[in-house]
Structure 1
Amino acid sequence: MKHILIAIIIFLSSACGGGSGGKSTNINELPVDEEGFILHNIRFDSKDFYEGEQVTVTTGTRFDVQWVSPSSASYRIDLYLSTNGEAHSDTNKIVGLRCGSTSFSLCPNATGEVQCEVDDNTLSCFAEGDSLGGKPFQDEDLSNLRFIIKGCDALNNCDVKTFDLMVQNISEGE
C-alpha cells in the first residue's frame, strides 16, 4: 500500500509541474501580444518619419509612402487626408488596402508601399501606376493638412499614425 501511495504522489507531482523549479507552463496558452498591432518604419520617400512629424511634398510630384506591419498575417491599411484637424473617418479616406497575404498583390507581406501625389487640390494614391483613390481639399486648408495611416489586424487591433503634410508649389521647392 505504501508503494502505491508513493507512486500516486510522484505521478501527481510530475503532472502538476513539480520539479520544474516552481514554473508551470500550459502548452495550450497562446503568447499575449501586449502591444497589439503596431505599424513600424513609416517612410516617406525613403526617409523615416515618426508620428506627429511634418512631411513636405511638392505639388505635381509623386512621393512614396511605406510601412511595415508587425507580421505578414492579413491586415488592413487605410490612408486618410485630414483638413482642419478632423479625425480619420469614411468621409476623408483616400484608400483602403487589404494586405499581408500572398493573394493581395499590392502589399502581399508585412511591408507595403504606395505612391501619392498632390495636384489640383487633390491628394491621390497609386500602386503600380494604377489609381487607388483620391481626396480633394481647398486651397485655404494647405496649412492644416494631415496624412493619416491606420493599420488594423484581423482581430481589429489598430494603430493610427498622423503626419503634418506641408504642400509646396513647384516654384517654392526650387
Structure 2
Amino acid sequence: MKHLLLTILTTTLIVLSACGGGADKKAPEINILPPVEEGFTLQNIRFDSRDYYEGEQVTVIEGIRFEVQWISPTSAAYRIDLYLSINGDVYSDDNKIAGLKCGSASFSLCPNATGEVQCVIDDNSLSCSFGNKSVGSESFQDNDLSSLRFIIRGCDALSNCDVKTFNLSVQNNTGN
C-alpha cells in the first residue's frame, strides 16, 4: 500500500511539475516590435582635432591646411561627399568638391568607419586631399568669403544619408 501511495504521489508530482506546478500562471506576453530602421548619422565631425556640431562656425586661415575628420555609424561601405556652398546654396553636383568611397578595406582613402581629408582655402578655391593625392576643389569669388559653408554628406549602401553643414570663417594669413 505504501508503494502504491508513493507511486501515485510521485506520478502526481511529475504531472503537476510538467504542467507548471498546478499554479494558475499566464504565459508571458511577448511584444515583438518591428525592427527599427537605423538611419545613417555622421558622428564626431572634427576640424583640426576639435569637435564641431552642425551649424557651428569653423575658423580657417587662408593658405593653411586644415583637417576634416568624421566617424560613420558603420564600417560597412558608405560614401562621403564634400561640398562648398556659396551664398546659402544647398549641396549639388555644381558645388561638389569630392566624393569618397569609404568603409571597406579595399577603399584606401577611408577603409573603415573613420575618415579624414586635409583641405586648404587659397587663391579663391577650397581644395581637399588625402596625403599627396588631390580629391577635388571648388572655386569661389573673393567677395563671398563671409557666406561660405562646408557641407559633408554621408550615405550608406541603402541610400540613407546624413548631411552636416558648417559655416566657414576665413581669416587672412598674417604670417606672409
Deviations 1:98-122 (A, max 9, x none): 1001110100000000000001010
Matched, 1:116 2:123: no
Other-structure match for 1:76: 79
Matching residue of 1:32: 36
By how many angstroms is 1:25 displaced? Answer: 5.0
Deviations 1:101-153 (A, max 9, x none): 11101000000000000010100000022111100000010000000000000
Q: For 2:102, which of 99, 102, 107 is the aligned residue?
A: 99
How far does residue 33 in structure 1 lie from its aligned partner after superposition?
Answer: 3.0
Instruction: Please list every run of 5 or more consecutive structure 2 residues that lacks an aligned counterpart in the other structure.
Output: 1-18, 20-25
Matched, 1:22 2:29: yes
Unaligned runs of 5+ residues in structure 1 are 1-9, 11-17
TM-score using structure 1 length? 0.82
- Which of 164, 168, 171 is 1:168 aligned to? 171
Structure 2 counterpart of 1:13: none
Quote the Cα distance in structure 2 between the aligned partners of 1:139 and 1:50: 26
Name the residue aligned to 2:130: 127
Residue 90 of structure 2 is aligned to residue 87 of structure 1: yes
User: Which of these two proteins has the greater Rg computed from alpha carbons?
Assistant: 2
Q: Aligned match of 1:136 in 135, 139, 155?
A: 139
TM-score (structure 2 length as normaliser)? 0.82
Structure 2 residue 58 is matched with structure 1 residue 55 = yes
Instruction: Determine the structure 2 residue equivalent to 1:6.
Output: none
Q: What letter matches 1:152 in structure 2?
A: C
